[in-house]
Structure 1
Amino acid sequence: MPTLRDPQYRAFARRELSRRQGGRCVYCNREFTKGGPTRMTIEHRKAKMKGGKDDLKNLAAACWHCNHHRGEQMNETKQRKEAMAKAI
């Protein structure tokens, strides 16, 4: 199975995801730009650290802003769960 480490597969995935989503972010629906906070990034729907794969079914195109903030939210949620587990 190809991975996003392969530049050819990564380029293919970027083109295909952008085409499927009409050049828009999966979360905020803003159009992608060449740079700045709305530039396109590849997002794993199920994180790799949780067993997600680099398969197109598990990937989405998200703007940098949404991808960055989603990661922060996931980390905060994980930290809260760990803190609650320690408190018990």
Structure 2
Amino acid sequence: MPTLKDPQYRAFARREVHRRQGGRCLYCHREFTEAGELAMTLEHLKAKMKGGTDHLKNLAAACWHCNQHRGKQMNTTKLLKEAKMAKRAADARSEEKV
């Protein structure tokens, strides 16, 4: 299967995803520009680190601003989940001592 590291596949994927979404961001629905915060970026719907692939079905077009915001949001969510799990583990340990 081709990956986004291949320049020809990356160009094809960008064109196809842009066409599929009508030239608009998946999240804010604004039209893409050539540069700046509304420049098009490719977004993995399921992150590669969570098992996602470079297949067209897993790719979406997002403006740079939304792509960056989503990354920060995912990191915050991950940190909150880890904190909750650590608290539960600490609570379970303290209950065992009683």
Structure 2 partner of 1:21: 21
- Distance in 1, matches of 2:44 and 2:12, equals 15
1:9 aligns with 2:9: yes
Count of aligned pairs: 88
Trace 1:8-87 onto structure 2 (pairs within 5 A). 8-87=8-87
- Distance in 2, matches of 1:21 and 1:87, equals 42
Higher relative contact order (CA closer than 8 Å, sequence separation 6+): 1
Poorly superposed stretches of 4+, deviation over 4 Å = none
Cα shift readout 1:16-44 (whole Å, capped 9, x = no counterpart): 00011111101111000010000000000
Secondary structure of the residue aligned to 2:41 is strand
- Distance in 1, matches of 2:22 and 2:81, equals 36
Alpha carbon RMSD of aligned pairs, Å? 0.5
Higher helix fraction (1 or 2):
2
Identity %: 73
Structure 2-normalised TM-score? 0.88
Name which one, 1 or 2, has greater alpha-carbon Rg: 2
Secondary structure of the residue aligned to 1:60 is strand
Cα shift readout 1:40-61 (whole Å, capped 9, x = no counterpart): 0000000000000000000000
Structure 1-normalised TM-score? 0.98
Instruction: Provide structure 2 residue ranges, at least 5 long, that are not aligned to the other structure.
Output: 89-98
Instruction: Provide structure 1 residue ranges, at least 5 long, that are not aligned to the other structure.
Output: none
Displacement after TM superposition at 1:71 (Å): 0.6
